[in-house]
Structure 1
Amino acid sequence: MTTAHAAAADFTQDDRILRCTGPWTLSQLGDVPNRLEHLDRPPETVDLSGVDRMDTVGAWLVHRLKRDHAVAIEGANDKAQELIEKVSTIDKPLRSKPDEGSPVQRVLAHVGDATIIAGRTLYGLVEFFGATLIALWNVILNPKRFRGNAVIKQFEVVGVDALAIIGLMSFLIGIVIAQQGAIQLRQFGAEVYTINLVGRLTFRELGVLMTAIMVAGRSGSAFAAQIGSMKLAEEVDAMRTIGLAPMEALVLPRVIAAVTMMPMLAFYAAMMALIGGGLFSWFSLDLPPVTFVARIREVVPMTDVYQGLIKAPVFGLIIAMAGCFQGMQVEGNAEAVGLRTTSAVVQSIFLVIVLDAFFAVFFASIGWI
């Protein structure tokens, strides 16, 4: 038997009944928890009629007795009973990580999440494209709002600064196409058709496609990073506060620059690829430049040139829209800038390749083959 002490929590056990007395609070419990763990025999009933105060620690001790020994609780006042019920409600096993489910469920979950994200992104791009058209219409109605200096600056960023890397890349691609084509055509004694391969492939596909990929990596990522950094620094909100429209000041100049410069860059890339293929043909296949140029004029129809020039501004629009859209979505911290920049490049390249496939089917259907 243990004698109850009025100034501290205590309990007595008699005939399978555990009678609790005093304040069952953290400061008054003393060695009660340790003694409860070393009971000679578990009680059948816990009598709380002698408890005048109880906190969550005392309620936990009573709940643990009820949980471990299936005892009945009697004599608890309303507040103590409510506290014990709340403690029992949150007494659930803790899982270090959620159930992963089967591999099939995880794959389906990832596919579903990716589909939802892709759908939301596509919807956001369409909405952003509409906002860009509205901004363009507002500038047309009020030409004074057109930012010529910003557009010229973006001409330099998108076009002039990219000439070196695009020229070198296209020159080397022209050499590679000519070299690989010559190796295969040599088996049939048709090395002269290497010129056909270089000419048609660069004007129709690789010239504009590789240029779009390079512009997406250079300018698309730059658009997302620049606008994202401004969004993170709340400069975009400050522009709205002072009455400037971010779509007109930030997005429209970049879109105009990309759409305008892409056809020029694509044609420049095709010419550099022709130069690379022509030099390889001259030194490796003994085809002089005059023969190379004459053959290009014979085998490359103007429809091939038109295809590249038609696709280029569309690709430029997609790249600029994706970069600016992802930049405008930045929020939170600096990590979001990197994530959105990566998303801008990936989405630009993906959409460019998808549209290129649609263009190929469309041009074939109208006889431009």
Structure 2
Amino acid sequence: MKNLLALSLKTVQGELYVLDQTLLPHQQHWVHCTTVMQMVTLIQRLQLRGAPAIGIGASLLLAYRATQGDSREQLLQAAEILRAARPTAVNLMNNLDAMIRALQQADFADAAVACAEALFAEDVALCQRMAEHGAALVQPKERLLTHCNTGGLATAGVGTALGVISLAQQQGKTIQLWVDETRPLLQGGRLTAWECQQLGIPFQLICDNMAGMLMARGEVDRLFVGADRIAANGDFANKVGTYSLAVLAHYHNIPFYVVAPHTTIDLSCPDGSAIPIEQRAADEVRGVRGAFGQTLWAPEQAPVFNPAFDVTPACLVSGWVLDTGVYSQADIQTGILQQFASKSQQAMV
């Protein structure tokens, strides 16, 4: 396997390493990942997170196992175990489907490696094209707002929404970024803020419930968020709290964009009601856990509702920034998402 390097994933002399995102921003620790169950744990504990990165990480692990002599049957079983690791992120399902097709070939080990490497390279290219399309929307000196983490930590490339924002800054547009802390796991505060420091993006960290006040004061010009799954009608699932931002942006007449590769489109979901929403552990809401340990601020047995994602309806979206271009609600109503997803599926057969 080639030596590959992304912000959260790398392969070195055929070995796979994952940057433990739960220890950021204060510790950078690479985990040597060698087994299927280890990868499942890394994904479920959010040590590896971000829809594209999850799919690529799972694919690289299958490729690594193929180089270690696992049989076709063992690899196919492993793919199904990995598929169940995070149910909402459709990139994981799409990438594993591509790997399964590779495993049907006679030289399945070499085919698995080639497929995983191709998926990695594809994501790098998709991220760059999304960044270029989205950055063209940003005007000089705009104040942008984003939610969760959508940068290089979540992909193999420059990211989705944060990739757009980073390129706009590189183009000299002198933007200012509001970064939602993103409760309950603080991916904005821990990860996006860290990436912004690395990239030189001027930012200010805010609590999630401050966004509406900023919009009312006229201090937000445009929003960019990512997606874990886009339904055929343009509805999309993203980190919980995204829907609230979309409603606020709609009320205040502020452009709201979702940025994602075409590989995030799921034609099997006709609309957002068909997107499975992952429920996570109660302790994530009762308190906080990080490199410092764990702190509980709620009663230990307090009942908790903890969906990882919410669904934003297409009617609240100003535009879909894909690697193929920027599309309006009128475009979406013509069925353009189905065209892109169908072409993608045909190319992967």
Greater Cα radius of gyration, structure 1 or 2:
1
TM-score by length of 1: 0.21
Structure with greater proportional strand content? 2
Structure with greater proportional helix content? 1
